[in-house]
Amino acid sequence: MNGLTLWSSPGTFDSLGWALLHFLWQGTALAALAAVAMAVCRRASTRYALAVVALCLMFVAPVSTFFLLLRSPADAGVNSYPVAATEWARDHVVKPIVPSANSTIRRLSPSFDASPWLVESWLLGVAIFSLRSAGGFLLLERQRRIASNLVNRRVLAMCQALEPRIGLKRTIRYCQSQWLQAPAVIGWFRPIVFLPVTALTGLSEDQLQSIVAHELAHIQRWDFLVNAFQVVVETLLFYHPAVWWLNRRIRAAREHCCDDAAISICGNPVEYARALTLMEEWRSAPALAMAANRGPLRQRIFHILGLKAVGSSARGLGLAGGILCLTAALAAGNALLGIAYPKTHAGAASIARSSVNFLRLGDSPAQATPATAPNVKEKPSPAKPQAGPQPVTGGSYIESMKAAGLGELTVDQLIALKIQGVTPEYVRGLHEQGLQPDPNTVIAMRIQGVTPEYVHDLRGLGLSPNADQLVAMRIQGVDAAYVSAIKNAGIQPDIDHLVSMRIQGVTPEAIREFHQQGLQPDADQIVSMRIQEVTPEYVRDIHALGLKPDVDQFVSMKIQGVTPEYIKGLEAAGFKLTVDEVISAKIQQITQEFIERAVKHGFQNLTLDKLIQLKHLGVLDTPADL
């Protein structure tokens, strides 16, 4: 349940939502860089390599941004999952912004209220494009199995003679196809070259040889793996036009590379260009296959014949457009970062100056000026004799923290401790409560407002949380009053249950209402009921129908979508079922309409088992059901 809570937490949704938004400018910037680089390169193979690298970077950019945001201090705010927050606080040094004299500390915490619907819309789009791609692959596999025949011996000998010339040592199959109008390669690890009847009968031997060499070049270059990667990136980043533009450039450059390979092996570029012109009329080929007539015909013919399809002016225009898009993308990225992470009013120079005046690590806490002292009121802990470190008066802040038990501090840790207002008294108060946190954990506890009094109150209620659990409890708002109210309501939860209950919004009032309905859920069950939206009203409505489910049965009913109306419908059809039978009926999709249809067909003495058999066998299915 903890993993599910992590991936459904607001912090994760925020990080994913921001990663998707950041990719808008990241993808544009990468596409602009690729456009500039490809504009200055003349070789098709170089342009292809640059475009593929840019596509890989497009894939990596949002993934890296997501994990960066997930682990950043901005993600350690009150909306984050507690375990992620505590792990970050323990493993990283907090580096907050130091305010000027007239400003207050503002923690960077991006908040994107629209992230749930944005992420859900993205997931819906990914699902749609995944089904589209899966359907295309399944169609190709089906056609590959049932709608192809082996080519004749003459064509097979010609094709096999080309394999060593192009550097292939794999076994390649060659099939004649009637459902394709252009030669194509289909398959990944066992590729098949499909030669349509139109190509076998409408092309000369030299032309056919060049076309087959083109397809073998795809196999020799392992283009099908790059093509599969393109499909994956298009599916995941479907919303960015730059991804589709770059994929079109990759496919065009790939065809140019294979054209160059075919000409180098077979020669006679004029005949090859004529073959492409003929096949332009036979453009029917699956989108997921690599067909010989794929790509812009005019550019390919100019490339094959060595003509300049694009002049220097067009290349200069491409360079200017790429630089302009790059500038716009960087400006948009800077604006988006400004929205996500608002800056303090003080400038960088002012921050640096106030940092020097504020820290003054060589001074004692009493010597700090009021303008730069941390604005944190610390309630002193009750003085108790202890064998631990004792306060040292008149020493520096470093010496005072060492005396309190925090020695060997780095500069970053000292800065963070001072900024967060961590005093030796605060550290000693934690020690008095039996805690021995390291500097990073002390910083996290101070940020979240964990005080010695807070720890003392929780221990008075029989809880013994460690430092990480204290931070998690504080983040989720678990205080002594909440714990006391939950226990008074009749549940004795442990620390993890308390955090889960608080995350799911379990209240003492809801627990008492369940008790009034005759249910006695434990801590695990009350969390499950809350997750599945089993409310006191739902329990009351089910009880009103004469059913008395236990807690687990209520959760199962809610999971299966059993409603009071569904039960009433079964009863109206003449079936008075037990709780387990109602759940089984819902799982098997036995509805009031299905029962009435069975009765209408003359079936009598029906039982639930007979209805389930009728449902499985499809006896009552209508053409609309099929």
CATH number at residue 190: 3.30.2010.10
| Shared-domain flag, residues 147 and 91 | no
pLDDT of residue 407: 78
Residues, the chain, total? 626
Q: Would you give the DSSP letter of residue 605?
A: S
CA distance 149 to 176: 5
| Shared-domain flag, residues 144 and 74 | no
| Shared-domain flag, residues 155 and 289 | yes
The answer to whether residue 546 is domain-embedded is no
| Shared-domain flag, residues 288 and 322 | no
In 3D space, the residue among 264, 262, 319, 321 whose CA is nearest the CA of residue 293 turns out to be 262
| Shared-domain flag, residues 29 and 77 | yes
CA distance 351 to 95: 13
| Shared-domain flag, residues 81 and 160 | no
What residues make up the domain containing 618? 551-626
pLDDT of residue 614: 82
Q: Name the token pair of 480.
A: 């002594």
| Shared-domain flag, residues 148 and 198 | yes
pLDDT of residue 539: 93
The answer to whether residue 510 is domain-embedded is no
pLDDT of residue 423: 92
Q: Which residues in the chain show pLDDT less than 50? A: 1-7, 73-112, 284-293, 309-313, 341-394, 624, 626
The answer to whether residue 385 is domain-embedded is no
pLDDT of residue 453: 94
In 3D space, the residue among 589, 585, 592 whose CA is nearest the CA of residue 570 turns out to be 592
| Shared-domain flag, residues 164 and 273 | yes
| Shared-domain flag, residues 169 and 257 | yes
Number of Cβ within a 10 Å radius of residue 537? 10
The answer to whether residue 244 is domain-embedded is no
Phi, psi of 26 (to 5 degrees): -65, -45
pLDDT of residue 454: 92
The answer to whether residue 170 is domain-embedded is yes
Q: Name the token pair of 182.
A: 């252009």
| Shared-domain flag, residues 161 and 268 | yes
| Shared-domain flag, residues 108 and 164 | no
- Work out whether strand 192-196 and strand 173-177 pair parallel, antiparallel, or are unpaired: parallel
pLDDT of residue 318: 56
The answer to whether residue 151 is domain-embedded is yes
Exposure of 153 by Cβ count < 10 A (0-12 exposed, 13-18 middle, 19+ buried)?
A: exposed
Domain count of the fold of the chain:
3
Q: Name the token pair of 106.
A: 């503002």
The answer to whether residue 179 is domain-embedded is yes
Helix (H) or strand (E) holding 184: strand 184-186
The answer to whether residue 416 is domain-embedded is no
Sheet architecture: strand order including 184-186: 148-150, 173-177, 192-196, 184-186, 290-291
| Shared-domain flag, residues 195 and 267 | yes
